[in-house]
Amino acid sequence: MNGPTSVGPFFFEAIMVKIKFTAQGANSIVGGFGPGDKASVSEAFARHLVEEARVAVYDAAPSTSASAESVVAARVGRKPKQPKE
């Protein structure tokens, strides 16, 4: 599901995040999984698995609000906010 997707008159690009499972389980989206298994899932689902369910960790650097804001800013043509030091 990477790449542009069309839903009616709207086009959007799905952002996928790589995660690595730390526990065993199953769900209807990724099926069965065990420790060490990897998957690419949507940002929202990755956040759920990592922060709420606590059955996975981000496989690559997690998308922070700053980097997500940079992506949005680039798409709408404005400069992203600079982090405060």
Domain 16-76 has CATH 3.40.5: yes
Residue length, the chain? 85
Q: Is the pLDDT of residue 73 over 70?
A: no
Q: What is the pLDDT of residues 30-51, one digit of tens each?
A: 999 999 999 999 999 999 999 9
**Distance separating alpha carbons of residues 63 and 47, to the nearest angstrom:** 10
Query: Which uninterrupted H or E stretch holds 74?
Result: helix 65-76
40-65 as b/e: b if 16+ CB within 10 A: ebeeebbbbbbeeeebbeeeeebbee
Kindly report whether the global pTM for this prediction surpasses the value 0.75: no
What are the structural domain ranges in the chain?
16-76
Q: pLDDT tens for residues 7-27? A: 555 555 678 999 999 999 999
Distance CA 7, CA 53 (A): 29
